[in-house]
Amino acid sequence: MTQAQTSALLSAVFDAAVDAIIVATKHGVITRANAAAAQLFGYDGADLLGQNVGALMPADQSENHDAFMQNHMVSGIHRIAGTKRPVEGLRRDGTVFPLQISVGRADYDGTTAFIAVLHDLTDRRAAQYALARSQRLDAIGQMTLGIAHDFNNLLTVILGNLELATGQLADDDIRAMIDDALEAAELGADLTRRLTQFARQSYLQPEVADIAAACRSAKAMLDRTIGSNYTIIYEPAPDMPKAVVDPAKFQTAVINLALNARDAMPDGGQITISSAVVQIDDDYIAQEIDIKRGTYIRVSVSDTGAGMSAEAQLRAFEPFYTTKPLGKGTGLGLAMVHGFARQSHGHVTLYSEIGLGSTFSLYLPIATTGTAPLSGPRADGINVQGHNERVLVVEDNAKVRSLACERIAALGYRALAAETADRALEILNAGYKIDVLFTDLVMPGSRGGFELALLVRSNFPYIKIILTTGYAIEALDRNNQLSAPFRVLSKPYRQEDLALGLHAALTAR
C-alpha cells in the first residue's frame, strides 16, 4: 500500500469514527478535529482549528493543562500515551459534561503531536444514576414493606379490641377515650397504607380510564381547595387515548403532585397540568430503567417555584424525605406517586432547575383493544349480620387469630380457627361444613394462604374465600395464576369492613 493510500485510508477512518478525535501540537493548538468532535463540543468543524484545547475544558482543568504538558515534555515523568481517564468537557454553550479521554503521542520530523480520543459519558452516567436510584428505592421499599406488614398485624389487634370494647361500655367518658384511641389507630393504619403504596404493594383496581376526564376532575377539586394565590392550567393533548389505571389512585397522584407544586411556591404561582402521548425508545431507556419500550400517556405537573437542588432531586421519592419545615409535611406524597406509577407498569420522572421550577411526569400504559377492567364487585347491602354461617379463620398470629374469631362471632357467624394452611386442609378434609375461608396470605409452613385459597377453590368450590393481609394480593400473585383476584381485606380493617366483606362474599354469585 502506498503512502497516499495509507493516508487516504487513515483520513476515512478519522472522519468515520463515532467518538471525537482531536489532534493538537505540544503547545495544545488544535490542528485537526473530526466531525464527531465538532458535534460533541457544539462547534462547526473549521471553528475548532487553531484553538487551544483549553477552550474545551472547564476553567480549573484548563489552567493546569499547559503546565502539565510542559512538565511532561521536559521530564517525561507523567505518562500520557496509552492511558484513559475520566475528565470533564466544556461545550461552546458553556455546559460541562463527563468524558473519557485516551491520549496517544506521535513524534515525527522533529515535532510532537498528541491525539486525543474522547468518549461522551453522559448517557452512561445517567444510566448509572438511574440504576443506583432504582436500587436504593427498591431496598427502601422492601424494608418499608416488612415494617408495614408487622405494624398492620399490631394495628389489627388494637383496632379490633377497641371496637369490641366500645360495644360493651356504658360510660360515655371512657367511650370518648376509646374513640380517641381508635382515631389514632386509624392514622397509624393510613400511614402503613401509604408506605405499602410506596413499596408498590397497594391494592389497585385498574380499569380502562379516561385520563383527560380524570385530570379535569382533579383540577376541579384543586380549584376549590388550593387557594386564590395559585393559577391551575390544564393543557390536554387532542384525541387522548385511554389508559389502564386505577382512576381514583391516579387522581390522588395528580393531586399529590399539585400540592407538592403549591408547597414549592409559598407566595403563589402557576401550576400546569398537561398530557401527551409519547414514545419510549432506546434513547430514553438508556437513561432510565424499569420501563419498557412502547407508547405511553404522559401526564406532567409543573410549577414556577424555586426549583430543587441536585440532592433533593436524588432523594425526592424516598419516604419521609422532605425539604419542608418540621410539621409541614410527612415526606410520603412523592413516595406514594412513585409506588403508584411503578405498580401501574408505568414510570415517574423529575426535571428541575434552580430558579425555573420543577416538572413531575407520570408515564402510564395506554389501553389496547380488548383490555378489560379488573375491578371486582363491592358489597352494598344494608343488613350485613350473619346467620350462623361457619367461617374458617386461618392465621398464624395467635392474637390476631383469636381476635378475628371474636369479631366474626360478634357479627352473627360461627368461627373455627386454624393456625396453618395444613391444619385448615385437615379440617376441611374431615368433613366440617365451612361456608367462608378467611385466611391470611403470609404464613409459615409448606403452604401460604394463597396456595391454600387455590386448593380450596379447586377442591371445595362452594366455599367462599376472603384473603386478608398487610400486603396486597399483587405481592404474591407474581405469576398471574388467577383468572381474577380473590376478595381481599387489607389489614388493619374495621368491624364494618369485615361485616361488608363477609356479606359480599356470601351473597356473590
CATH code for the domain in which residue 288 is found: 3.30.565.10
Q: What is the CATH number of the domain that holds 35?
A: 3.30.450.20
pLDDT grade for 438, boundaries at 50, 70 and 90: very high
> Cα(85)–Cα(78) distance, rounded to whole angstroms?
14
The answer to whether residue 394 is domain-embedded is: yes
> Cα(254)–Cα(218) distance, rounded to whole angstroms?
7
Q: What is the DSSP letter of 303?
A: E
Secondary structure of 99-130 as H, E, C letters: EEEEEEEEEECCEEEEEEEEEECHHHHHHHHH
Q: What is the mean pLDDT of the chain?
A: 77
Domain identity same for 359 and 496: no
Residue 307 cell numbers, joined? 426549583
Residue 454 cell numbers, joined? 387455590
Domain identity same for 73 and 39: yes
Domain identity same for 339 and 474: no
Domain boundary among 120, 139, 160: 120
pLDDT at 384: 77
pLDDT at 403: 86
DSSP 264-289: T-TT-EEEEEEEEEEEE-HHHHTT--
Residue 452 cell numbers, joined? 391454600
Domain identity same for 415 and 323: no
Q: How many CB atoms lie within 10 A of CB 360?
A: 27
Domain identity same for 248 and 338: yes
The answer to whether residue 398 is domain-embedded is: yes
**Of 460 and 174, the one with more pLDDT:** 460
Domain identity same for 360 and 400: no
Return the CA Rg of the chain: 32
pLDDT digits (tens, 9 = 90+) for 484-498: 567 888 777 778 889
Q: State how far the alpha carbon of 30 is from the alpha carbons of 112, 161, 173, in Å.
A: 13, 81, 87
Considering the entire predicted model, what is its pTM?
0.42
pLDDT at 490: 75
* Least confident stretch, 132-146, 413-427, 457-471: 132-146
Residue 391 cell numbers, joined? 367461617
Q: What interhelical angle do 122-166 and 398-410 show, nearest 10? A: 50
pLDDT at 312: 80
Domain identity same for 343 and 221: yes
* Least confident stretch, 50-64, 142-156, 263-277, 489-503: 142-156
pLDDT at 373: 39
Domain identity same for 237 and 337: yes
pLDDT of 110 higher than 60: yes
Q: What is the CATH number of the domain that holds 485?
A: 3.40.50.2300
> Cα(214)–Cα(227) distance, rounded to whole angstroms?
21
> Cα(395)–Cα(442) distance, rounded to whole angstroms?
9
Backbone phi, psi, residue 388, to 5°: 65, 20
pLDDT grade for 203, boundaries at 50, 70 and 90: low
The answer to whether residue 159 is domain-embedded is: no
The answer to whether residue 169 is domain-embedded is: no
Q: Which helix (H) or strand (E) holds 142?
A: helix 122-166
CA-nearest of 459, 449, 474, 464 to 379 is 464
Domain identity same for 22 and 87: yes
Domain identity same for 359 and 396: no
Residue 114 cell numbers, joined? 498528541
Contact 300, 360 (CB under 8 A): yes
Q: What is the DSSP letter of 244?
A: E
Q: How many CB atoms lie within 10 A of CB 471?
A: 23
pLDDT at 266: 87
The answer to whether residue 167 is domain-embedded is: no
Domain identity same for 359 and 418: no
The answer to whether residue 496 is domain-embedded is: yes
pLDDT mean over 223-248: 85
Q: What is the DSSP letter of 81?
A: B
Domain boundary among 120, 141, 161: 120
pLDDT grade for 381, boundaries at 50, 70 and 90: very low
Contact 502, 391 (CB under 8 A): yes
pLDDT at 466: 93
- Collect all residues with Cβ–Cβ distance below 8 Å to 438 and sequence separation of at least 6: 391, 392, 393, 394, 404, 408, 466, 468, 502
Residue numbers of the domain that contains 104: 12-120
Domain identity same for 352 and 215: yes
Determine the 3-state secondary structure of 234 from DSSP: strand
* Least confident stretch, 80-84, 86-90, 351-355, 366-370: 80-84
Q: State the total domains in the chain.
A: 3
The answer to whether residue 276 is domain-embedded is: yes
Q: State how far the alpha carbon of 408 is from the alpha carbons of 78, 101, 361, 383, 416, in Å.
A: 81, 71, 45, 15, 10
The answer to whether residue 139 is domain-embedded is: no
Q: How many CB atoms lie within 10 A of CB 303?
A: 25
Cell 503531536, located at residue: 113
> Cα(439)–Cα(391) distance, rounded to whole angstroms?
10
pLDDT digits (tens, 9 = 90+) for 11-58: 787 877 888 898 888 888 888 888 888 888 888 867 888 888 888 888
pLDDT at 195: 57
pLDDT at 376: 35
Domain boundary among 365, 400, 429: 365
> Cα(181)–Cα(477) distance, rounded to whole angstroms?
35
